[in-house]
Amino acid sequence: MNITENVVMLEVVGSFGTIYPTLVWDESRIVLIDTGFPGQIASLTEAIAKAGIQAKDITDIILTHQDMDHIGCVLDMLGLSPSAQIWAHEREAPYLDGRETPVKLAALQKNYASLPTDGKAWCDQMQTGYANRRIQKIQTLADGDILPVCGGIEVVYTLGHTPGHICLFLQKSKVMVCGDAANITDGKLTGANPQHTYDMELAAQSFAKIVAWDMCGVITYHGGYWENT
């Protein structure tokens, strides 16, 4: 879906539903925000191609947070575009490069003995998945940073869903790319999903921060586009 002339909300369909990474570009840089589930590289690159862009030309990948459905194809993308720069919040970087255990995996490991058989299998699968997708050479971001590309991409620190979750405010189009900090329910913009959120109190504060922003619309990763009318 074309949001503006240089902002496209990609639609990647999979077994867990449709997700919506974002593609934004200018004359010299092409930025991909989030990369889908593991195994979705073909669908992701097809969606990128439909926007008139080749995956090999991606210059920057910004990760809103550590969850597997957002980082799943980062290494695949680097295989296609080896010089692409990876960006993430400074608090999120240790989870991405392996210095810290991702928060949802850590919660499962803590209760491993009491998990049902399928729960243990899921935990084991997550552990292997993260071990095989450690991301090195991450450029770190902080709240208020502005990347001087694509008309300005402002970092909005929205902790709660994970400790280092960020949204990206596209200054030229006044669109907020929200990752999992916001969802759409019955046509209304709503906050993070409690079932998958690290700290709901902090997430609620972050959602209040988002809705106070002067913006034209919001791209949510699992809900699509919400227009601020």
What does DSSP assign to residue 18?
Answer: E
Q: Using one digit for the tens of pLDDT, what is the confidence trace for 11-53?
A: 999 888 899 999 999 999 999 999 999 999 999 999 999 999 9
Q: Using one digit for the tens of pLDDT, what is the confidence trace for 98-112?
A: 999 999 999 999 999
Flag whether pLDDT at 157 surpasses 90: yes
Q: Which domains does the chain have, with CATH numbers?
A: 2-98+134-227 (3.60.15.10)
Q: Using one digit for the tens of pLDDT, what is the confidence trace for 55-68?
A: 999 999 999 999 99
The mean pLDDT of 115-135, rounded to a whole number, is 94
Q: Using one digit for the tens of pLDDT, what is the confidence trace for 68-85?
A: 999 999 999 999 999 999
pTM, full prediction: 0.96
In the prediction, which pLDDT does 14 show?
84
Kindly state the tokens that stand for 172. 């030229």
Mean pLDDT of the chain: 95
In the prediction, which pLDDT does 229 show?
81
Kindly state the tokens that stand for 161. 């869903």
Choose among 36, 32, 72: nearest CA to 221.
36
- Cβ atoms within 10 Å of 167's Cβ, excluding its own: 25
Q: How confident is the model at residue 5 (pLDDT cuts 50, 70, 90)?
A: confident
In the prediction, which pLDDT does 15 show?
80
Kindly state the tokens that stand for 90. 């400074």
Q: Using one digit for the tens of pLDDT, what is the confidence trace for 159-198?
A: 999 999 999 999 999 999 999 999 999 999 999 999 999 9
Could you tell me what percentage of the chain is helix, strand and coil, using 3-state DSSP and rounding each to the nearest 5?
30, 25, 45
Choose among 86, 36, 30: nearest CA to 53.
30
What does DSSP assign to residue 114?
Answer: G
Dist CA 75 CA 87 (whole Å):
13
